A and B are shown apart, each in its own frame.
Chain A
Amino acid sequence: MEYSPPPFFKRGPSLLTRFTFFSMVSAVLLISDARLNYLHLFRQGIATVVYPVQRLGSLPSELAGRVGDFFVTQARLQRENDQLRHQELRNSAALQVLKSLESENHHLRELLAMRGRIAREFIPAEILYGHRDPFTRRVVVDRGTQHGVRAGWAVVDENGIVGQVTRVFPWLSEVTLITDKEQAVPIQAVRSGLRGVTFGIGYDGTLELRFMPVNADIQNGDLLVTSGIDGTYPAGLPVAVVSNVERNAAYAFARITCTPSAGVNSANQVLIVAANEERPENPASESPTASKPRKAKR
C-alpha cells in the first residue's frame, strides 16, 4: 500500500487498520441502535454534554426573534390586541357552555357507570429547531425529563395534534411529527363516527388514512379527531381534514389523503400532554390480531 510507512518509523497501526476498526465499531453501534434499542443511556450521556453547545447554537435565532419582537409597530400590536380580545370573548362564551356540558357529561357518565374522562396535565414548550435529519420529521423542544416530560406523550398546538414525544433528554426532548413516515394516530371521523388510523407520508406534509374500504363513509372536508382508544392521545382533538378521496374498485382500500389541522411545520409554541396513566389493562391476547391494540380495526 502506498501509505504504509517503513517499519523503522513507529507510527501506530496502518490507515486501513484504523479505518476498519472505527467502521466496525460504528456498524456495531448502528445495528444495536436500529435493531435492539440498547443505547439509550449512552445517548443520554452524550446529549447532556452536548446540551450547552446546542443552546449556544439556538441562541442567535432566539436573539433575532427577541430583537424582532422589540421593533414591532404600535399599530400591529394594537390590531393583535383587538383580535385577541375578540377571540377571548368568543372563547369565554364557549367555555361557559363547555363548563355546563362538562358537568352534565360527568353526571350522565356517573349514571351510566362509565369511566370518567381524566383531566390531563399540560407542559408548555417551545420548539427550538426543526428537522435537521432529512430522513425523519422531528423537532426538538426545550422541555425534558427535568420538567417532567416522558417519552410517549402527545404534543398539541392550538389547532390540534402536532406529534408525539419519542425521545427525552434531561433538558430537551424530540418530538416526532404526525407527518413522519412511521407515526400513526388513531382517529375517528366526526361526521360518520368511523374509526381508523392515519399514517404520515414522510416526504410532504400530508397524512394518509389507510385500510379504509372503498365504500367507507368518508368525504372531502371530513374532520378527523383523535379517538383516544390508544391511551396516548387525548380523545377529541383535531388531527386532520380529509383533502382527497380516491376510490378505485381495483384495490381493496380507498386512498384517502388528509391535511393536518395543526401547524405541524409552523408551530412555535406547543403543549405536551401527559399520557393517561390509569388505563385499563389490555385484554389477554387470544388470537394473533388481538395482540396489536394500537392498530384500531374497524
Chain B
Amino acid sequence: MNLGWLRPPISTREPPQEILRPVRAPYIALTLLSALVLNLLALPDVITQIKPDLIALTLIYWVVYHPRRVGFLPAWLLGLTMDVADGSLFGQHALAYAVLMYLAILFHRRILMFGMRQQIVHVAAILLLSQFIMLAVRMLAGADFPGPLFFVPSFVGAALWPLLFNVIRIPLRPRTDPDAV
C-alpha cells in the first residue's frame, strides 16, 4: 500500500545548499526584533497557550546557519526583555536563552548534517530543554506545575522550523537565478 501521500510536504533531503547574499547585522537585528513583536502579540488565550517562542527559534536559526553572527549578549538581553514583558521571574527567559545558545552552538555542525525532518527533532529537543529550565526555575521559586500543555509551544515551534528557515532566507537569496546561463 502506498502511503506516500500521508507524508507531510517537507523534503527529507538535506536543505538546499544555497549560495546566499552576505548577511548584514541590521537584518539579523530586524529578524530578532520582529520575533519580539510577534512574541508580544496580544492574541486570544487559546492561541497564547500554544504559541511558540519565536525569539528562541530565530536565535537557533542564526546560530545554526550563520554561526558567530549572534552572540550570547543579544540573546541574553532579549531574554531579559521577555521577562519584563511577560511579567515572569527576572532572568528566567535569560537563563533559558543562555542554555539554548550553548546547545545550539555546541550542536550546530551536527544539526547541519541532517535533513529538514531530522533537524525538526533537534530543534524540538533544544526548545524543550530551554522550557525545562524555565519550569525548574519557577518550580524552585514555588510555582505549581502548569500541566503537560506547558510543553506544547516547543513542538509547535519545532514544526514551524522549515517555515522559519524559508521566510528568513527570502531576502538572502540572490536576485538573479544562479542556474541561468
Binding site for B on A (CB under 8 A): 2-3, 11, 15-16, 18-19, 21-23, 25-30, 32-34, 39, 42-43, 46-47, 49-50, 53-54, 56-58, 60-62, 128-136, 138, 140, 167, 174, 181, 202-203, 265
Contact B150 A134 (CB under 8 A): yes
The residues of B that contact A28 with a CB separation of less than 8 Å are 91
The residues of A that contact B84 with a CB separation of less than 8 Å are 43, 46-47, 50
Main DSSP-derived SS at the B contact region? helix
Interface residues of B in 23-56 (CB under 8 A from A): 33, 36-43, 45, 48-49
Q: Which of B14-22, B99-107, B118-126, B158-166 contacts A (4 or more CB under 8 A)?
A: B99-107
On whether A15 and B105 interact (CB within 8 A), knowing A26-B95, A135-B143, A136-B87, the answer reads: yes
Q: How far apart are the CA atoms of A229 and B89 in the complex, in Å?
A: 31
B144 at the interface (CB under 8 A from A): yes
Task: Determine the residue in chain B with the shortest Cβ distance to A32.
Answer: B90
The 3 A-B residue pairs with the shortest CB-CB distance, nearest first, are: A57-B40, A29-B91, A26-B95
Contact A26 B98 (CB under 8 A): yes
The residues of B that contact A49 with a CB separation of less than 8 Å are 81
Contact B87 A174 (CB under 8 A): yes
Contact A133 B87 (CB under 8 A): yes
Interface residues of B in 45-93 (CB under 8 A from A): 45, 48-49, 68, 71-73, 76, 79-81, 84-92
| Chain B nearest CB, measured from A270 CB (Å) | 16
Contact B72 A18 (CB under 8 A): yes
The residues of B that contact A30 with a CB separation of less than 8 Å are 89-92, 95, 137, 141
B147 at the interface (CB under 8 A from A): yes
Contact A203 B146 (CB under 8 A): yes
| Chain B nearest CB, measured from A124 CB (Å) | 19
B128 at the interface (CB under 8 A from A): no
Contact A27 B101 (CB under 8 A): no
Contact B87 A138 (CB under 8 A): yes
Binding site for A on B (CB under 8 A): 33, 36-43, 45, 48-49, 68, 71-73, 76, 79-81, 84-92, 94-95, 98-99, 101-102, 105-106, 137-138, 141, 143-144, 146-147, 150
Task: Determine the residue in chain B with the shortest Cβ distance to A59.
Answer: B42
| Chain A nearest CB, measured from B157 CB (Å) | 15
Main DSSP-derived SS at the A contact region? helix
Q: How far apart are the CA atoms of A54 and B37 in the complex, in Å?
A: 7
Contact B90 A43 (CB under 8 A): yes
The residues of B that contact A60 with a CB separation of less than 8 Å are 41-42
Q: Which of B43, B49, B81, B147 contacts A50 (CB 8 A)?
A: B81
Task: Determine the residue in chain A with the shortest Cβ distance to B134.
Answer: A135
The residues of A that contact B105 with a CB separation of less than 8 Å are 3, 15
Q: How far apart are the CA atoms of A174 and B91 in the complex, in Å?
A: 18
From A29, A32, A56, A265, name the one whose CB has the most chain B CB atoms within 10 angstroms.
A29
Contact B95 A56 (CB under 8 A): no
Contact B144 A27 (CB under 8 A): no
From A25, A39, A135, A202, name the one whose CB has the most chain B CB atoms within 10 angstroms.
A135
Q: Which of B37, B39, B72, B89 contacts A33 (CB 8 A)?
A: B89
A-B contacts, 12 of them at CB < 8 A, read A11-B68, A19-B98, A19-B101, A27-B95, A30-B91, A128-B42, A129-B48, A133-B86, A134-B49, A167-B87, A181-B143, A203-B146
A53-B85, A129-B42 are known; give 4 further A-B pairs, CB within 8 A.
A25-B76, A30-B92, A54-B40, A58-B40
Q: Which of B36, B71, B144 contacts A53 (CB 8 A)?
A: B36
On whether A50 and B85 interact (CB within 8 A), knowing A26-B95, A56-B37, A129-B42, the answer reads: yes
Q: How far apart are the CA atoms of A38 and B137 in the complex, in Å?
A: 18
Task: Determine the residue in chain A with the shortest Cβ distance to B77.
Answer: A46
On whether A135 and B41 interact (CB within 8 A), knowing A19-B98, A30-B92, the answer reads: no
| Chain B nearest CB, measured from A155 CB (Å) | 15
Q: How far apart are the CA atoms of A46 and B93 in the complex, in Å?
A: 14
Q: How far apart are the CA atoms of A26 and B93 in the complex, in Å?
A: 9
Q: How far apart are the CA atoms of A195 and B69 in the complex, in Å?
A: 61
Q: How far apart are the CA atoms of A70 and B101 in the complex, in Å?
A: 46
Contact B41 A29 (CB under 8 A): no
Q: How far apart are the CA atoms of A25 and B77 in the complex, in Å?
A: 12
The residues of A that contact B99 with a CB separation of less than 8 Å are 19, 23
